[in-house]
Amino acid sequence: MMVPAFLRKPSLKVSKGSRDGTILIVIQLSGGNDGLNTIVPYRDDVYYRNRPEINVAASSLIKLDDQLGFNPALEPLANLFDSGEMSILNQVGYPNPDRSHFRSMDIWHTGSSSSDYQQSGWLGRYLDSECEDCSLPYHAIEIGDNLSLALHGKHRDGLAMRGPEKLQRATNDSFLREVGQKYRSRSQHDLDYLYKTMIEVQESAAYLTRKARTHQSAFTYPNHEFGAGMKQIAELITADTNTKIFYLSLPGFDTHVNQKVRQHSLLSLYAETVNTFVHDLKSNGLFEDVLIMTFSEFGRRVEENGSQGTDHGAANNLFLIGDKLKIPGFYNDPPDLNTLVDGDLAYQIDFRAVYSDILRYWLATDPEPIMGVQKALERRAI
């Protein structure tokens, strides 16, 4: 009864479009994953001299070529690399890097320069722009309690949730009435916007709950929030949910102390989950529609610290996983440990060029209105 008449009918028309076109999954390794101990330059003596305690021994690596090898924790991803379904971009970063978690994450989320402060994210601006039928929040979903800046647009936002049914319980009619009463004293314009936002979230929750009930994965994922989140994404994709973007974070990579044990555990969880996810999609003939991008807000310093860990650095590796990669394997040369900038890897690839490549070739939209004018990748990645 509290819903204004002018909003009631239009907003209750939930899109019935099925999964159409491509899907982007963004995985964020939060805290600053140590790229040098992830993709290890085992032929480079500089690496071992700078890391006498925390290096990964060459004998334990999964060697990918004559210079670089997987941390053994990434063994579940070796089959993807060997089959040409994984591309590793080395030394990805940006000019004048910031070593603050919060500021560097804002830069990655917004796609801005280190001196530019923006209030909208690169994927949120995609929702704002030419994304067909992206008017409801479920078109971009983050698995979690809070919506990252990356999915905040100027006019449209994505949706953060732990699960469709939990979201629906949180946005039921009684909750809407309570919020409506709370904001009754506000201006009519603010109240209209509030109603519209609440109704959109309610509809998204109902739509996702209905879709989630149509398919349950038969695969066993790691017993962890990250594993459960990726399983939920696989189920929503297989249930033909009209969601174009999924976003998920795996925290814990700020390894100042006791890095080898902590990072190995996290990388193992990441690799096992992603490998299961890919097999899940392949079993339903859906992997060809999906691109997975994995990034971290910065890498770590080349030299280990005194606590068997590493401190905040700059450039890092970035993973692309899919079956339509233009340059599978290693996209560019190994990291150059002889040409450092204040003890950090110098960036070779600007992350914003990667975003532009994804927007243009995977999401089929013009990146310039979203990212501004950016220097393109030297070679197309997707």
Predicted structure pTM score: 0.89
Dihedral sign, CA of 87, 90, 94, 97? positive
pLDDT score for 136:
77
Distance of CA 179 to the CA centre of its chain: 32
Task: Encode the chain (382 residues) as per-residue pLDDT tens digits.
Answer: 344 433 333 332 333 334 568 999 999 999 999 999 999 999 999 999 999 999 999 999 999 999 999 999 999 999 999 999 999 999 999 999 999 999 999 999 999 999 999 999 999 999 998 676 677 778 999 999 999 999 999 988 999 988 666 555 555 655 554 654 455 445 445 556 556 666 677 777 777 777 777 888 999 999 999 999 999 999 999 989 989 999 999 999 999 999 999 999 999 999 999 999 999 999 999 999 999 999 999 999 999 999 999 999 999 999 999 999 999 999 999 999 999 999 999 999 999 999 999 999 999 999 999 999 998 999 999 9
pLDDT score for 184:
45
* Block residue for tokens 């290693």: 330
Strands 62-63 and 68-70: antiparallel
Q: Structural domains in the chain?
A: 25-163+219-371 (3.40.720)
Instruction: Show the tokens assigned to 28.
Output: 């964020």
Phi–psi pair at 24, nearest 5 degrees: -110, 130
> Are 142 and 148 within 8 A, CB to CB?
yes
Distance of CA 297 to the CA centre of its chain: 11
> How distant, in Å, are the alpha carbons of 64, 77, 180, 313, 323 from that of 83?
12, 10, 54, 31, 9
pLDDT score for 7:
35
d(CA 136, CA 158): 8
* Rounded (5°) CA angle 321-345-375: 60
Residue 57 burial class via C-beta count within 10 angstroms: exposed 0-12, middle 13-18, buried 19 and up: exposed
> How distant, in Å, are the alpha carbons of 91, 112, 194, 267, 309 from that of 50?
18, 32, 55, 22, 12
Radius of gyration over alpha carbons of the chain, in Å? 22
Residue 215 burial class via C-beta count within 10 angstroms: exposed 0-12, middle 13-18, buried 19 and up: middle
